[in-house]
Structure 1
């Protein structure tokens, strides 16, 4: 009888220890939350365009919003000191303040050494450039300027030798690398985006439809462009080349997270 009780006590002790071990494991176990794939707030995005046959650039729009940006202020300050706009609009030749670098595309592109120096202090030396098929990390080359009394005024950060065979047409850039997915067919989301665009009732539009080229989960990266206006302006039907990052919500609604575009029609003069 004593042996039986002793054996039973051992079993109870073993069972009690097992429960304690399980409790300890349960208490010490921590939930590991996956890191978000896309942190919008901590990144910087800019559009990228082929401005001509020989010039591809990251684009900063200037004097494009009611609230002045850092780059608006930089340009305004140097323009006042160096008479960049005055020389550009009233002189057909180069001056001590401006040099023409490319007149083959939609814009007559110029550069100013003081603007170059100041802009380079306020941008990164490299950016990740995303095309319709892939991406590359690229160095900034020159700082150029495109002025027009009617169209969007731009500062361009030129890049050299973007591999279009590997990466496709250049679309946008970011400071931090994005893990984009490139899929073959985005027709369903493009249909939703088209409905979303029509609901906006824009006063000025063209016939170029929005195309999706990549995504991160339910965030979609898009462009409106026929890629002809820079190299062959007379053959282009695109008046408002645009880049955008859109969020598809659970109720199938679209939210614009970021967008930038150019007005090549010249709404300001219409």
Structure 2
């Protein structure tokens, strides 16, 4: 144990094991420290300058504009709104047509001078009058009509039964009606149906002729009428053809019949 201690003391006391440091002058150390301080100061100054410049730029960018510039900016950046112009007002077009009557060229007789009519109206040429045609109307009174069969006439309920012979051969039949109590008011042929109808005394024809009318009135109303004795016959254009028979006392109508022209009853 003592030997170990002795060895350790010899080892530590050996000069060969000492570490010798290079001699450094005090001035060199001071200059090195000064350079480091200058570098730090320069770096700090650079950072400060950059910070100041950046702050200046930020302040200049965020500087509030003047009122005039604000208005300009608002006007510049305003959202454009597309406005649709109102539709044009509706207009109505009125077209007036003027009719000018031009005079006809002069005729061969020189009666027309070719000038317009002073009254402003054109002269219409006179139409050639045509002779009146016979009256056209159905041979009907009430529910009964000429040519109607006996069965159809009875079905109307206008005939009063029983019938009576209308001729000596007992071929045609005669009926009274509800409006004319005469037994011979309606004459019916078995082949042609009703061949005669007696109109009531109060009835009038479409031309306002009836019992009580003057013969002259009958002839004026029916210009194609033919008088034979006391009877005046006015033929009517219809299908089948028939006639008015105006029985008179010579001056005034007493009875009016409607008669089928093609009848086969002897007494009609």
TM range (shorter): under 0.3
TM-score normalised according to structure 2 size: 0.23
Structure showing greater radius of gyration is 2
Higher strand share: 1
User: Greater relative contact order: 1 or 2 (C-alpha under 8 angstroms, separation 6 or more)?
Assistant: 1
